[in-house]
Chains A and B, each alone.
Chain A
């Protein structure tokens, strides 16, 4: 069978061509391809790893945030409570102050009114006294215009004096 006898010429060409192919592809194709594949696989792996890490960090961060938030909320509540009580205290104080001031003012006013009243009364008394003196004077002057009147008056005085 011719088919089973290897042809020497083809054998030589095959050895040469395959060796060249092995060299050329090995140097210019397989080397960059295999290293490129490896590099890409490593990149993907590290990317996945870092993604996992980022996820974990995110979770930790989120937990932290939650804690912080809760703390902040508590602090806010405390602050609010303090503020409200402080406000209440201030309000109370202000109210007391006001009432004190009002009371004092009322008292002052009362005192002023009293003084005014007294002054006015004194004034009125003085006026009344003045008026009565004038009236009395006028009356006396009229009554004592004649002798009879003067006598009668002296008599009445004397009568009174005697009684005493």
Chain B
């Protein structure tokens, strides 16, 4: 009997990744629950929020009482004194207590001025660092993919053959279908959007990484890009449809006008919230299930919970793909409505 083809090294790598992921979760949780002491419930929620929220330093792992942290630059624009830059490690002393630096304090992940000065926090936070990292990865990966097309017509190979079907899918099944013959102009935006979300969703699932695509500032920015592209490309038919919907009885037209105008703004809001909520919720679910074992102080629940969170993590990979797809799909649908010539 012939065994089906099993790629042992790959399975090994995946298993190691899963194990690593579970262990990181566990150690982080143990550290935070240990340090919080008696107020366990509050501590656990805080631990989850700490994982989801942004931070001024990049906390990778806690082994015992040692925090492995990458210090990041804290950049402050003071309206009075201009730019100020310090490393995040300067804001804590040896015992991890916050200290004042240059008139600023970093407490509970919040930067505030000790003399109530007006300022802008432009720090390279964990999310910003992760953003730069993802941009570098994206540029690196897709320049490598693009290299395959510069040699004239040839069969795809290597990394090119992995991404080509996805690119073709976005072009044929998202852009062409929803935008129509004008799709080519929007392809760079849609491709960048899709891969930016996908890469950051997946990066967010790796142990110790930031939750960038689950951050509302990020999803809002992406939604605003779609919003501006949609409305700046809105044709006569699009605005006519919103302002004075044809084919509708006259008395109802003002009502529809109100609904449509609200609709212009609810579209980006729905885009913002959908991506933010699904990615953040996924993280919360994984962390909560891992946390169960510690809250109930049961080894069995801990083991089962860890295994279950692994399963949820796998589902999260699917969610990462789906959300990237959905955001791109809806963006192209909105753009498609905007550039439509009105030939129904």
CB distance from A62 to the nearest CB of B (A): 31
A25 to B16, CA, bound (A): 33
Complex: chain A residue closest to B111, CB-CB: A9
Determine which of B121, B125, B149, B280 lies in contact with A37 in the assembled complex, contact meaning CB atoms within 8 Å: B149
Residues of B within 8 A of A40 (CB): 153-154
CB < 8 Å neighbour of A3 from B53, B128, B149: B53
Tell me the residues in window 8-51 of chain A with beta carbons closer than 8 Å to chain B beta carbons. Answer: 8-15, 17-18, 20-22, 24-26, 28-37, 39-40, 43
Q: How far is the CA of A24 from the CA of B184 in the complex (A)?
A: 17
Docked CA distance A24–B192 (Å): 10
In the assembled complex, the Cα of A5 lies from the Cα of B125 at a distance in Å of 16
Q: Check A30/B280 contact, CB under 8 A, given A12-B122, A18-B221.
A: no
Residues of A within 8 A of B123 (CB): 9
**Chain A residues closer than 8 Å to B150, beta-carbon distance:** 32, 36
- In the complex, the answer to whether B142 meets A25 with C-beta atoms within 8 Å is yes
Q: Does B286 contact A (CB under 8 A)?
A: no
Q: Residue among A2, A15, A28, A29 with the most chain B CB within 10 A?
A: A29
Q: State in angstroms the CA–CA spacing of A33 and B184 once bound together.
A: 12
With A3-B280, A30-B187 as known contacts, state yes or no: A17 contacts B131, CB within 8 Å: yes
Complex Cα gap A108–B221 (Å): 131
Tally of B interface residues using CB under 8 Å: 46
Tell me whether B120 and A9 are in contact (CB under 8 A). yes
Known contacts A14-B131, A18-B225, A37-B149; A26 and B215 CB within 8 A of each other: no
- Residues from chain B with a CB closer than 8 A to the CB of A30 are 142, 146, 187-188, 191-192
Interface 9-mer from B59-67, B164-172, B333-341: B164-172
A17:B132 contact, CB within 8 angstroms? yes
Q: Does B20 contact A (CB under 8 A)?
A: no
- Bound Cα distance from A135 to B340, whole angstroms: 155
Whether the pair B216, A4 counts as a contact (CB closer than 8 A) is yes
| A22 CA to B139 CA, complexed, in Å | 10
26 contacts between A and B (CB under 8 A): A3-B52, A6-B215, A7-B127, A8-B120, A9-B122, A9-B128, A10-B125, A10-B128, A10-B217, A11-B221, A13-B122, A14-B221, A15-B221, A17-B131, A18-B221, A18-B225, A21-B138, A21-B192, A30-B187, A32-B150, A34-B171, A36-B148, A37-B149, A37-B164, A37-B171, A40-B154
17 extra interface residue pairs, beta carbon distance < 8 Å, beyond A9-B121, A33-B167, A40-B153: A3-B49, A3-B52, A7-B121, A9-B120, A9-B125, A10-B218, A11-B217, A18-B221, A21-B196, A22-B188, A22-B192, A28-B139, A30-B146, A31-B188, A33-B146, A36-B150, A37-B171
A interface with B by C-beta (< 8 Å): 2-15, 17-18, 20-22, 24-26, 28-37, 39-40, 43
